[in-house]
Amino acid sequence: MTTALPRPGVTAPPGVAGLAASAVVPEQAPAYVQAVSGLVPGVSPAGFLQYAAGDGFILVAYDGYGAERSPQAWEEAVAASAAAVAASARRITVLGPRRPACAPPGAKTGEADAWWALDLPPAPPFVPASGKVRNMVRRARREVEVAVENWGPEAKALVDDYLRVCCLAEGTRYIYGRLDRYLAAAPDALLFAARGRKDGALRAFAIGDYSSLGVAFYMFAFRRPDSPPGCADALLNALLDEAAKRGHTLLNLGLGINPGVAFFKRKWKARPWLPYLETTWEFPARGCLARLAALFKRGAS
């Protein structure tokens, strides 16, 4: 994502709010994306959320919850969305469940992954399906108390410590450095803090986003190396319980990323839900640039 700062006074165009309300992936939550990247959302002609990013576009090619298109309709929608920006952009990146058929042979496709999901009960509270996880949550709750808090110096210090010891992509580091902006800009994003019952120190925290009506999002989690066993489980349980109270039917637990992350999700009986693939390609040069390219090509022959 671009490192541009949000542009003051820019408001989301009509249609963005409707797409956000039925979001199934975090990139469909405009308050999150705009707060951490500065990208302003729009709606493609085919009804996908999209973001102008420098000389390109990012197309979030996922349908809203309960409004999935057929594979053929999806392909047609992506092709129409790409064609609509081809004249004004140099490149397009499509985030979606598969590589679009309209992508040229030279398009770059990242590694396949999947969004993992947990079904929520029709009424609270949320109770983990695994007895082992229930025991971990109970164990952690003897040592920490979990409650919703505002962002503060302790949360920032915890993130800063993580950034110092971990080797992360520059884009990820940029996002982690702007979590305070995200929480300030998104009223339905909550920070769940786990504090020691004896000393009150912040041991860990997690951020959940409830801006979509049907799907809640497990966004970020950080913990101290000395946090008690089960602390991450206690935070996730609190986040899930809040989702159940709000009437959400599903929690998007994020991407698998690596075996360790996927193990945590699988431990909670989560399942791979939506495939994820990132595909990027360049558009052919047009107008004066196209004519110049043709002249150079003829001159070289």
DSSP string, 65-97: TT-PPPHHHHHHHHHHHHHHHTTT-SEEEEEES
38-67 pLDDT tens trace: 998 999 999 999 999 889 999 999 999 888
Interhelix angle 131-141/231-246, rounded to 10 degrees, is: 100
| Buried-exposed string 9-30: b where 16+ CB fall within 10 A, e elsewhere | eeebeeebeebbebbbbbbbbb
Q: Cβ atoms within 10 A of the Cβ of 8, count?
A: 5
The arithmetic mean of pLDDT across residues 188-200, rounded, is 97
Position 270 scores a pLDDT of: 96
Position 290 scores a pLDDT of: 46
- The phi and psi torsions of 95 (rounded to 5 degrees) equal -100, 115
How far is it, in rounded angstroms, from Cα 163 to Cα 295?
49
Q: At residue 18, does pLDDT exceed 60?
A: yes
Q: By the 8 A CB rule, do 151 and 184 touch?
A: yes
Share of the chain above pLDDT 90, in %: 80
294 pLDDT band (50/70/90 cuts)?
very low
Q: At residue 8, does pLDDT exceed 50?
A: no
How far is it, in rounded angstroms, from Cα 33 to Cα 200?
32
Q: At residue 242, does pLDDT exceed 70?
A: yes
How far is it, in rounded angstroms, from Cα 238 to Cα 141?
11
Residue of higher predicted confidence among 187 and 14: 187
Position 14 scores a pLDDT of: 52
Q: Which of 59-63, 70-74, 244-248, 290-294 has the lowest mean pLDDT?
A: 290-294
HSE-up of 86 (CA within 13 Å, CB side)?
A: 15
Q: At residue 163, does pLDDT exceed 70?
A: yes
Q: At residue 297, does pLDDT exceed 50?
A: no
90-139 pLDDT tens trace: 999 999 999 999 999 999 999 999 999 999 999 899 999 999 999 999 99
